[in-house]
Structure 1
Amino acid sequence: MVWEQNSTVIAMMTQEVEGEKIKCQRYWPSILGTTTMANERLRLALLRMQQLKGFVVRVMALEDIQTGEVRHISHLNFTAWPDHDTPSHPEDLLTFISYMRHIRRSGPVITHCSAGIGRSGTLICIDVVLGLISQDLEFDISDLVRCMRLQRHGMVQTEGQYVFCYQVVLYVLTHLQAEEQKAQPGLPQ
C-alpha cells in the first residue's frame, strides 16, 4: 500500500503492546541500519529514529529490489493515546498532526491503530477539520463522522473519542481567537 499509493508518511496511533495485549505486529526493522523484507519485492531499512514529546519518528528507506528504486518513508508512532480512550491534552496530538503535515511529500498519510477505527478515525476527523479551519471553511463534526462511517464502519469508535474531536477543535479555535485579538489590540478581550 505504501509503495502503490506513493505515501511518504505512516501515522501509527498505537503501541506494539498495550496492557500485555499485542496491538500491532512490528513491520519495520528495530535496529538502526538493519533491513527487513516487507514482501518478496520490497526491502525496508531503518535509517534514523528520534523520540519527540508524545511520539517517535522513524525514517526508513523502502527499496524495490527489482528496480533499485528507493523511497524514504517517515513512520510516526504516537505514543500518548491509550486504547479506547483519548489523550489527556490536545497539545501533543496537535504537535503530531503539525509534524505529520509538514513532512508529508506525496500520497496519502497511511493511518493505523489496532482496529483501524478508533484512534485512527479520531486522528483523521481532527486532521480533516483542521484543514477546513485553515481554509476558513464551514464544518460539521457529526456530518464528517457520519460520512467517515459510511466509508469504514465504526470510525471514531467511542463516545470519548467523539467528544475529544470537539475538545481539540474548541482548543484550536480558542487559541486562534486569542491570537487574532492580540494582533488587533483595539478589540475587546
Structure 2
Amino acid sequence: MARSDREEIIAEEHQQILNKEVEGSFEANNSNPGLNQYIHKVVVMLRQKKENGKEKFYPYWHVEEQQSLKFQKFQVTTAKVERFSSYVKTTLHITDGTEAVQKVTHINFIAWPDHDVPSDTTEFLQFVLEMRRFQEELYVE
C-alpha cells in the first residue's frame, strides 16, 4: 500500500469518527468522565491563512478574544489568544446548543515561509519542543 493510500484511509477513518461525534451532543459525550479524561482536543496547524496571496483555508475560529463564529448548531468562541514569536496559541470554547462546552487548544505555527523551507530551523525546533511540553501538561490536567 502506497504512503498516500495509508494517509487517505486514516483521514477517511478520522472523518467517520468526527461524523459520529457530531451526530450526538457534547452533553452526551461528557456523560462518561472516564472516557473524556483521555480525549484532549488539540489542533496544530503549520500553515498560514494566506499563502502566496491566496486564502488556504476557511477560518473556523475568530482571531480576537471573546469573539465567536457560528456553524450550524456549533458556536466557536475564542476565549484566549497567546502570541509568541513563531506561533499563536488560541483557546477555543465550542458549544452545540446545550450547556456543555468543549475546550480546544488551537496552535498555529506562523513562521514557516511561503512555498519554501526555513533557512534556519531553530524556530521550528523550539516549536516542536513547546508542543512536547504542552502534551505533557495535557496529561497532568
What TM-score, normalized to structure 2? 0.62
**1:31 paired to 2:29:** no
Distance 1:102 1:92 in 2: 15
* SS state at 1:100 partner: helix
Aligned-pair identity in percent equals: 26
**Higher normalized strand content (fraction of residues):** 2
**1:63 paired to 2:98:** no
* SS state at 2:112 partner: coil
Alpha carbons 1:56, 1:77 under 8 Å: kept: yes
**1:85 paired to 2:116:** yes
**1:14 paired to 2:47:** yes
Distance 1:81 1:44 in 2: 26
Distance 1:7 1:88, change over 3 A: farther
Alpha carbons 1:9, 1:100 under 8 Å: kept: no
Distance 2:95 2:130 in 1: 24
Distance 1:45 1:12 in 2: 18
* SS state at 1:80 partner: coil
The gaps in structure 2 that reach 5 residues or longer are: 1-17, 22-37
Could you list the per-position Cα deviations for residues 2-46 of structure 1 after superposition, in whole angstroms to 9, with x for gaps in the alignment? x94944211111111122111122110122101112x32321110
Greater Cα radius of gyration, structure 1 or 2: 1
* SS state at 2:125 partner: helix
Distance 2:48 2:106 in 1: 13
The gaps in structure 1 that reach 5 residues or longer are: 107-189
Alpha carbons 2:63, 2:81 under 8 Å: kept: no
What TM-score, normalized to structure 1? 0.48
* SS state at 2:111 partner: coil
